[in-house]
Amino acid sequence: MRFLHTMVRVTDIDQSLDFYCNKLGLHEVRRKEVPQGRYTLVFLAPPGQENIAEIELTYNWDKEPYGEGRNFGHLAFEVDDIYGLCERLQAGGVVINRPPRDGYMAFVRSPDNVSVELLQ
């Protein structure tokens, strides 16, 4: 298993990029515009640490208020066998929010309701 990224929802992508890049010194690793979902993903990392762990800024094009705790989205881990892991987790009583029906992505929930993304 390898830690991939932490997702943070942002309300102003330019202001957020200014903070994370210009002020904190991270840099943009990649960007994904998703018109059909009406959101933008921007992945950031410290220079030289692109393959260690990233911050994913998620900007939803349609404005919605995020209450306390709604800015944090999920943790993500790369796994070798997503189906086997989800079967073991479910057998252990873990809630599977989104099963790996597409073969490479699933979401499970921690005991404290933290969303955890599993990617293969």
Q: Is 117 part of the annotated catalytic residue set?
A: yes
Catalytic residue among 56, 68, 87, 117: 117
Fill in the amino acid letter for 34: V
CATH 3.10.180.10 maps onto the chain at 1-73
Q: What superfamily does domain 1-73 belong to in CATH?
A: 2,3-Dihydroxybiphenyl 1,2-Dioxygenase, domain 1 (3.10.180.10)
User: What's the CA gap between 53 and 86, in Å, rounded?
Assistant: 23
pTM value is 0.73
The bridge status of strand 105-109 relative to strand 54-60 is unpaired
DSSP-derived pairing of the beta strands 95-98 and 105-109: antiparallel
Looking at per-residue confidence, does 70 or 30 come out higher?
Answer: 30
Residue pLDDT, tens place only, 35-50: 999 999 999 999 998 8
- The string of pLDDT tens digits covering residues 2-25 is 889 999 888 899 999 999 999 988
Report yes or no: 77 and 116 within 8 Å, Cβ to Cβ: yes
Q: What is the pLDDT of residue 69?
A: 64
Cα–Cα distance for residue pair 62/80, rounded to 1 Å: 35
Q: What is the pLDDT of residue 67?
A: 67
Torsion sign across C-alpha atoms 118, 52, 30, 63: positive
- Please provide the average confidence, as pLDDT, over all residues in the chain: 90
